[in-house]
Structure 1
Amino acid sequence: MSDQPPHQNGADTAPLAPPGPLVMNIQFIKDLSFEVPGAPEIYTTLREPPRIDLALDVQARALQEGGNVFEVALQIRADAQVMEQGQPNGTAFIAELVYCGVFTVNVEQQMLEPVLLVECPRLLFPFARNILADVTRDGGFPPVLLSPIDFVALWQSRRSPEGQPPVAMA
């Protein structure tokens, strides 16, 4: 018999590799809301496809002071307006999703903000996109299929002229 536990042998004793610069620990739906204020009548009176107005935001916060573990939240809101003769005439549906990930980030301080507000939401986006499409389809409407998001442009548009980090990093 060997002195080593069964899971340790010569092949398994190599040192563990250090964690990468970005590790997604978990992803989850933090909040999901789908409302159809005019149901059930809306399903029989809707003549034109609704106009969809989208709002998107990204927030990041440290889960422990001075640590390298962060929660990144991708917030999406879709407001669908009933259209009659090309004019909005009431709400068809409202969908709100906050999709989050917990990330371990091992980068230098000057790279932290772009990693949190560009790379992390880029990893979360396909899952959030799928959830929003499923919810709107299951709600009786055509699925809302979000186009790819340029998170670099979104991040740059949020930066103040003085080059200060956005409020989301507070």
Structure 2
Amino acid sequence: MSDNQNQLPNGVNGALEGQPNQGQPVGPLLMNLQYTKDLSFEVPGAPEIFTTLREQPRIDLALDVQARPLQEGANVYEVSLQIRADAQANINGASQTAFIAELVYCGIFTLNVQPDMVEPLLLVECPRLLFPFARNILADVTRDGGFPPVLLSPIDFVALWQSRRGQNSAAGAPVANA
């Protein structure tokens, strides 16, 4: 092992200081790193749920995107894709929770764009880049938990962002944390 155990991956130290990666071209959007910030999988009715479950549970999904700057005046942001899957099964005529899966999957991004382009990049392009990895993690954790994998359909992040803008405009609130 090296003595540099506490250093961040390639280029992140410079990005956090507002400096681009030296020797590498920097475009308008650079993903510095991605990671699982929080992952939870619960089966409250185990082990009985596995013996009484006769059909695939109904799954309710909730998705949110959040973005926050990592340093004042820097162009480096943390974008989090938050997904919750709540599975309900009909057992003996009553609804019972089969499982609850929660995932917060994040990326650190450096943006080199005009201020009016920051919000769409953070709330549309960044989550679009994170989504395939989050989708895979959710499928794996539900399958490994003893259930059929939850396979999320592609998400239209443009429509999600526009919907959020419309809701916040009606409420007179600023859009997201970007």
| Residues 4-153 of structure 1 aligned to structure 2 (within 5 Å) | 16=23, 18-84=25-91, 89-153=95-159
- Structure 2 match to 1:8: none
Secondary structure of the corresponding residue to residue 123 of structure 2: helix
Q: Conserved in 2, the CA contact under 8 Å of 1:48 and 1:84?
A: no
TM-score (norm 1): 0.85
Partner of 1:161: 169
Deviations 1:38-87 (A, max 9, x none): 001100100111000000000000000011000000000000001248x7
Aligned partners of 1:130, 1:50: CA distance in 2, in Å?
20
Displacement, 1:165?
A: 3.7
> How much has 1:18 moved relative to structure 2?
4.0
1:164 deviation in Å? 5.9
Give 1:134 shift: 0.2
TM-superposed CA distance for 1:166, in Å, is: 1.3
Q: Which residue of 1 aligns with 2:13?
A: none
Deviation sequence 1:86-114 (CA, Å, 0-9, x none) = x7611000000000000001010000000
In the aligned structure 1, how far is the partner of 2:63 from the partner of 2:80? 10
**Contact 1:113/1:165, CA 8 A, preserved across alignment:** no
Name the % identity. Answer: 76
> CA 1:48 to 1:20, structure 2 compared with 1: closer, same or farther past 3 Å?
same
Tell me how far apart the structure 1 counterparts of residues 109 and 116 of structure 2 sit (CA, whole Å). Answer: 17
> TM-score, normalising length from structure 2?
0.82
Letter in 2 for 1:151: F
Name the amino acid aligned to 1:31. D
For the residues of structure 1 that align with 2:114 and 2:146, how far apart are their CA atoms? 47
Superposition CA RMSD, Å: 1.8
Distance (whole Å) between structure 1 residues aligned to residue 135 and residue 152 of structure 2: 6
Q: Mark the runs of 5 or more structure 1 residues left unpaired by the alignment.
A: 1-14
CA distance in 1, matches of 2:177, 2:88: 30
User: What 5-or-longer segments of structure 2 have no aligned partner?
Assistant: 1-21
Q: Which has the larger radius of gyration?
A: 1
Distance (Å, rounded) in 1 between the aligned partners of 2:25 and 2:43:
49
- 2:87 match: secondary structure: strand
Deviation at 1:161, TM superposition (A): 2.6
Q: Count matched residues.
A: 154
Matched residue type, 1:106: N
